[in-house]
Amino acid sequence: MPLLEAVYRERREELEVLTVNLQEEPEVIEAFQKENGYTFPVLLDREGKVASQYWIRGIPTTLIIDSQGIIRAIRSGALREEDLEALLDEVR
């Protein structure tokens, strides 16, 4: 998540970062965001509808979606900075 925050702050003008939480209560999410200084939005998907719609099988999973709403990349597991940057550069 620190990597997502860095990318969000650095590229805020050109991309949007959204995260989806599948478990915690809103208060827990808000406290975690504050404690860690994360400023990107967190969406709550307790019923798993988003996870099901995007075929998420593992956490974390990163989706790169272009401005037309087309999924350009899906990666399961933690990403290194250079991997995320390469994915984002491919979509440009």
CATH of the domain at 39: 3.40.30.10
Domain, as residue range, for 28: 2-86
Longest alpha-carbon distance in the chain: 36
Tell me: pLDDT of 82 over 90. yes
In the prediction, which pLDDT does 92 show? 75
C-alpha to C-alpha distance for 4 and 68, rounded to whole angstroms: 21
* Angle, helices 2-10/81-91, rounded to nearest 10 degrees: 40
Domain assignment present for residue 20? The answer is: yes
In the prediction, which pLDDT does 84 show? 92
- Tally of structural domains, the chain: 1
Domain assignment present for residue 91? The answer is: no
In the prediction, which pLDDT does 89 show? 86
In the prediction, which pLDDT does 31 show? 97
Mean pLDDT of 36-57: 92
Domain assignment present for residue 22? The answer is: yes
Three-class DSSP labels, 20-66: EECCCCHHHHHHHHHHHCCCCCEEECCCCHHHHHCCCCCCCEEEEEC
pTM, 2 dp: 0.82
Domain assignment present for residue 12? The answer is: yes
Domain assignment present for residue 92? The answer is: no
